[in-house]
């Protein structure tokens, strides 16, 4: 864990705290942390949660809402950001979270193609939604802050190779990275987020 990454987590923490102080409604502050794969989204979300404490901050993962096999039609995957189940994320999670209401959802395991056991969430003061596609236009207006993480292509490949192996890297290069980049460019996600952080050259996440 580098000092640089700690400073980035502190920067996010300070920005969220300011939004929290400005919040006049008795509802959670929702923050989206989008960005390129292997840019450190999950790591930074966990670090920010640690700064607040798990009693005050929830972390939700967009990876839990990837499409099931029967949903991965050519038409769906041609849509920018279409390989995430935005409908299920809204119906099971977001429509309750924005009002601070308890909700249950099932994370989807892409490796086993099965749902994991149902999880009950009683929303805390702060909810971090981390993962690619969290800033999709269909979800955008439900957040109080939007954060984008980027990383150089060279270090992105290095991190994925270490994390997923050579075969995994090839799958990312051929499929997942192109889908993400299509989404980023189609909706100008990096340019429209209020905060952009570059995690290049600061370790493997």
Tokens read off for 39: 């840019």
21 domain-assigned: yes
Q: Confidence band (pLDDT; 50, 70, 90) for 63? A: very high
CA 128-134-135 angle, to 5 degrees, is 110
Alpha carbons 194 and 164: distance in angstroms, whole number = 31
33 domain-assigned: yes
CATH number of the domain residue 178 falls in: 3.40.50.300
Work out the angle between the directed axes of helices 3-22 and 41-52 (0-180°, nearest 10). Answer: 60
115 domain-assigned: yes
Does the pLDDT of residue 204 top 60, yes or no?
A: no
203 domain-assigned: no
H or E stretch at 146:
strand 145-150
Which pLDDT tens digit goes with each residue over 107-129?
A: 999 889 999 999 999 999 999 99
- The Cα diameter of the chain in Å comes to 49
Does the pLDDT of residue 134 top 80, yes or no?
A: yes
Mean pLDDT of all residues in 19-41: 92
Identify which of 141, 139, 124 has the alpha carbon closest to the alpha carbon of residue 26: 124
Alpha carbons 32 and 36: distance in angstroms, whole number = 13
23 domain-assigned: yes
Which pLDDT tens digit goes with each residue over 151-189?
A: 999 999 999 999 999 999 999 999 999 999 999 999 999
Determine the pLDDT at residue 111: 87
204 domain-assigned: no
**How many structural domains are present in the chain?**
1
**Residue that is written with structure tokens 């929303």 in the block:** 123
**Residue that is written with structure tokens 């493997």 in the block:** 204
Tokens read off for 7: 């400073």
Does the pLDDT of residue 198 top 70, yes or no?
A: yes
By the 8 A CB rule, do 26 and 140 touch? no
Mean pLDDT of all residues in 11-15: 95
Does the pLDDT of residue 143 top 80, yes or no?
A: yes
Determine the pLDDT at residue 3: 78
Mean pLDDT of the chain: 93
112 domain-assigned: yes
Q: Higher-confidence residue: 18 or 5?
A: 18
43 is in which domain, residue-wise? 3-198
Q: Confidence band (pLDDT; 50, 70, 90) for 26? A: confident
Determine the pLDDT at residue 41: 96
Tokens read off for 50: 């640690």
Does the pLDDT of residue 32 top 90, yes or no?
A: yes
Q: Which residues contact 196 (CB under 8 A, 6 or more apart)?
A: 147, 148, 149, 150, 190
């Amino acid at each position: 864990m580098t000092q640089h990454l700690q400073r980035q987590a502190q920067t996010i923490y300070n920005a969220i705290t300011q939004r929290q102080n400005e919040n006049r409604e008795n509802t959670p502050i929702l923050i989206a942390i989008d960005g390129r794969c292997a840019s450190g989204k999950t790591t930074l979300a966990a670090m920010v949660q640690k700064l607040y404490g798990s009693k005050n901050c929830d972390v939700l993962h967009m990876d839990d809402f990837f499409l099931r096999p029967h949903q991965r039609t050519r038409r769906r995957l041609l849509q920018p950001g279409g390989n995430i189940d935005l409908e299920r994320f809204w119906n099971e999670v977001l429509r309750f979270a924005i009002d601070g209401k308890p909700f249950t959802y099932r994370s989807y395991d892409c490796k086993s193609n099965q749902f994991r056991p149902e999880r009950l969430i009683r929303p805390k003061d702060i909810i971090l939604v981390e993962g690619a596609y969290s800033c999709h236009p269909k979800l955008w207006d439900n957040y109080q802050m939007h954060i984008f993480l980027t990383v150089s292509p060279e270090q992105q490949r290095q991190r994925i190779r270490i994390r997923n192996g050579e075969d995994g890297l090839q799958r990312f290069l051929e499929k997942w990275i192109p889908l993400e980049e299509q989404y980023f460019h189609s909706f100008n996600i990096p340019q429209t987020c209020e905060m952009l952080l570059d995690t290049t050259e600061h370790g493997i996440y």
